[in-house]
Chains A and B, each alone.
Chain A
Amino acid sequence: MPPIPMHWRILLIRSRICKNRLGNTDKLLYELGLVALGISIAAVLLYFCTGINVLRISYPCVFNKVTHLCCPGCGGTRSLRALLRGEFLKSLYDYPPLMFGVIVYIVFMVRCTLYIIFGVRKSRDGAILKYIYIFLGLVIAQWIVKLVAQIAFGYYWFL
């Protein structure tokens, strides 16, 4: 019997581990989630191997510096740093959509992985999309709240 080529062996192992297939929408979002996970792991490895902290590299928000107003992403890096330190309330205060996004991301990736490998039942294909819309709504809502707090009441969010 001729030896099995390497790429066939990989497909064979994958077919034994991945018993179930996701729908097209969930598959695409799962792959994007894996890319994001890969980037996060690379950043962590970069920190432990070289000491470079990518969260410290970011330059100040130009929009905030020039106009003294918040942009839709203002507070995101602070919130992520607080989340990684375990300060959940501060993370929620600085950028509320981040906590929501992280929870949705973890639940989605875990459920899809369990479905692929063990066939554990999950929601229908594309059900995650309504949570993406909620995340988008939270981003815009918190931006409006911060702008109103600053312009109408003089309350600067990042004192």
Chain B
Amino acid sequence: MGDTDNNGIDYNEAAQDESKVFAIISLVCGIISLICSCCGWLSIIAAVAAGVLGFISISRHEDGKGMAIAGIICGGIGLVTAVSILIFSAITGGIINAADPDALENIIDSIENM
């Protein structure tokens, strides 16, 4: 049954398990991107990873398709939130420096004074 070699290894089953790995990691990265959407770069990296791995999983095999789609959607939401924060901070006069709370307060004050 299936493509097996002399040792009885089913290569179709091995390929299914491998694409499910991508789907699971895509889901985990999507959740991280969603929860850390205020962290900017971390969310963008996790969202890109979720999207890439999700699309690889979908293109290779049907198993784990739901997980891959969930990972892509969550990564998308996190990416939109993180990118909107970065664009907003760039428009208001410079990238927010997370290590400099004074810069953050100055930008917020400038927004409130608009």
Contact = CB atoms under 8 A, between A and B. Distances in A.
Contact of A71 (B70, B81, B88): B81
B35 A62 contact: no
B68 interface: no
Given A66-B108, A71-B81, A73-B37, A136 B31 contact: yes
Contacts of A59: 98-99, 101, 104
Contacts of A123: none
Interface string A36-74: 000000000000000000000001111111100001111
Interface residues of A, number: 25
Interface residues of B, number: 30
B49 interface: no
Contacts of B108: 65-66
A139 interface: yes
Nearest to B16: A24
Interface in B38-74: 38, 40, 67, 70, 74
User: Secondary structure at chain A's binding surface: helix, strand, loop or mixed?
Assistant: helix
Nearest to A95: B35
A60 B103 CA distance: 12
A34 interface: no
Contacts of B31: 132, 135-136, 139
A158 interface: no
A133 B21 contact: no
Contacts of A24: 17, 20-21
B35 A73 contact: yes
Given A24-B21, A59-B98, A136-B70, A66 B85 contact: yes
A139 B25 CA distance: 18
A76 B21 CA distance: 27
A107 interface: no
Nearest to B37: A71
A77 to B, nearest CB: 11
Interface of B: 17, 20-21, 24-25, 27-28, 31, 34-38, 40, 67, 70, 74, 77-78, 81, 85, 88-89, 96, 98-99, 101, 104, 108, 111
